[in-house]
Structure 1
C-alpha cells in the first residue's frame, strides 16, 4: 500500500528478474513511480504487472546497458516521464564460471562490459540530471565479490573490484554535493535466476551454497537507501569483516575459495558448457527467485559464514603482525 509521503521517482536497470525485480516490487508497494529497464521484454512486462498490482506507476524500456547511447536515451526519457529522477538503481550483473584459461575471452569481456562499463554508463547518464536538480541517489549493486576474490570467476572479480573503486572515486568527485549520494550494496550469495543465466565452462551443473539470501532481503536494504543513503551496505555478512578480510588476508581467502571450487567441480552433477544468457536475454520469462534456497539451512549457514569470516580476519591479523 502506498504511503502518504512523496512518491519516489526510480529507475532500475537489470529489473527483469532477481534482486532488480524484487526491488521494483518493493518500491511499488511504497507507491513509487518506476522506469524499469532490462534486455528481456517478456520478463519486464511480467514484473511491471506485479508492480502495478501493488500500487506502482510503471514504464518499461528494453535496453542493453553496454550501449552508452541507449543508456543516455533511457535517462532522458525517464526524466521526462517522471519529472526528475530521485533514485537510480544500477543492478545489471552477469557472470561466467570456469577456470580462466578455459573460458572464451569474449565471455570474459562481456562480463566486464556489463558489470563494470554498464554501471559506468548508468552513472554517466544520470549524474548530470542529479547535478541539475541538486539531489539524487545512485545505488550500485556490487556483491561480496567486490571484497573477496572469486576463483573460477576471474572476470566477475575484476568487474566487481573495479566497480567498488569506481564508486569510491565518484564519491570523491561528488563530495561537495551533499545531497547526491553513491551507495554500494554487497550481498553474499542470493537465490536468483542469475545462476541459470550464467555462462558455464566447468562441465558441472551450477548450484548455490547453503544459506543463500532471498532476493527480497536484498531489495529491502536497497529501498532503505532511498531514504537513508550510506556508502556501504553489506547484506548477509558484516561489512567490517569483508573489509578486514580484504586488507589482512586477500590471498588466503582466494586460495580457500579456489580449493572449494576445485572440490565442488569434482563432485557436482555433470552440466552443459556454454555462454548461457551472457550475450542475449533468456528465451523465456524469468522470475524473482531462483528456487534453490533452503530457508531451514539459512541460520546454520549464516553462523558458519560469520565464524569463517572471523577466522579469516584472525588468521590475516596474525600473518600481518608477523611481517
Structure 2
C-alpha cells in the first residue's frame, strides 16, 4: 500500500546527512548499511555501545562518507536534543532521519509486568515524539528533510499476547499520522511511515516473554534488507506510507481485522499458537526491554531456529 507525499526528485542527493536511530541491529543496521553503500554521511544511534561500535565499522567498510556513532537511549527526553545539537555542530544540517528503535514483548496484558509493558510503549511512542520535536523544527527552517518512522503491521491490528507491542505501534502510528497532517504547511518536509510484516531480525528472540514458550517470527518472514530498500527509496522519493512486503498480504489482514472482527478474533489466537509460539519452554524474562544484549545484535535473526532449540534471551 503506497500513497504519495509532496513531489520530490527520484535522484539521490550525494552525501546526505542521515540519522539512523536504532542502528545497531535488525532493520536499523540494515538501513545504515544501505545508506553507507550510497556514500552518505551517517549518524548512528543506539543504547548498545558495544554493538554500535561494530555497526560503525561495518558502515565504514560499506562505503559511508563519514560515520559518527552515538550511544543514546531515545526514550530519554533530552537525548534527541543532544543528538540534533551534535549533528548541526558537525554537519550544519539533517537531511534524513530514520527511527527504527523498538523493543518487543510477548505476554497477555494481565501477565506482563507493568514496567515492561510501559517501556515497550514508551520506546516507540515517546521515542518518536522526542525525536520529531527535536528534528522537525530544523527541517522546517531549511524547508527540506525527510523523517521516516518504522512502524508495523501491528500498528493497524491487534494480536493476543502481543498487546504491549500493538499499543506501542498504534500509538506511534498516531504520532506519525498527526505529524503528516501538521507538516502540510512545511514545503519540502516529509513524514513517512514504513509498516513491515514479519522480518528476520533478532528482536523476536530478544523480546520480553511471559508466554511460557519460545517464540519465532510468523511466516512469511522477509529479510531486513527488504525494509532497508524501502526506506532508502523513501529518502529519494517520499511517500506517506509504504507496506513491506508490497502486495495484498498486510492489507488483507487489516481488512479482516476491520470488516470481519468476529472471524478475525476467532482465528487470531489459534494462528498465534501455530505460527509464533513454539513447543520449547521458556522461563519468564524481560528480554532486552530495559537493557540491551550487545552480543546478540546483528542484522539477521535466527529464523528458522532449529526445532526445539529456543534462542537464549538475556535474564
Report deviation, 1:272: 2.1
* Structure 2 contact 74–131 (Cα < 8 Å) conserved: yes
* Structure 2 contact 200–221 (Cα < 8 Å) conserved: yes
* Structure 1 contact 112–156 (Cα < 8 Å) conserved: yes
What is the TM-score of this pair, normalised by structure 1? 0.85
- CA displacement, residues 108-139 of structure 1 (integer Å, 9 cap, x when unaligned): 00011101111111111101111111111110
Structure 2, unpaired ranges of 5+: 1-10, 306-315
Partner of 2:7: none
Partner of 2:207: 198
* Structure 1 contact 204–269 (Cα < 8 Å) conserved: yes
CA distance in 2, matches of 1:225, 1:133: 19
* Structure 2 contact 218–275 (Cα < 8 Å) conserved: no
Partner of 2:287: 276
Aligned: 1:158 with 2:167: yes
Distance verdict in 2 for CA 1:256–1:242, change over 3 Å: closer
More strand by share: 2
Aligned equivalent of 1:257, options 268, 272, 277: 268
Report deviation, 1:243: 5.1
Distance verdict in 2 for CA 1:76–1:253, change over 3 Å: farther
* Structure 1 contact 150–156 (Cα < 8 Å) conserved: no
Runs of 4+ in structure 1 displaced over 4 angstroms? 262-267
Report deviation, 1:244: 3.4
Partner of 1:318: none
* Structure 1 contact 35–61 (Cα < 8 Å) conserved: yes
Distance verdict in 2 for CA 1:163–1:51, change over 3 Å: same
More helix by share: 1
Alignment RMSD: 2.0
Partner of 1:229: 238
What is the TM-score of this pair, normalised by structure 2? 0.87
* Structure 2 contact 23–46 (Cα < 8 Å) conserved: yes
CA distance in 1, matches of 2:187, 2:142: 13
CA distance in 2, matches of 1:97, 1:250: 22
CA distance in 1, matches of 2:12, 2:182: 34
CA distance in 2, matches of 1:246, 1:175: 30
Report deviation, 1:262: 4.2
Partner of 1:72: 81
Whose relative contact order is higher, 1 or 2, with alpha carbons under 8 Å and at least 6 apart?
Answer: 2
Aligned equivalent of 2:194, options 177, 181, 185: 185
Aligned length: 292
Please give the secondary structure, in 2, of the residue aligned with 1:222. helix
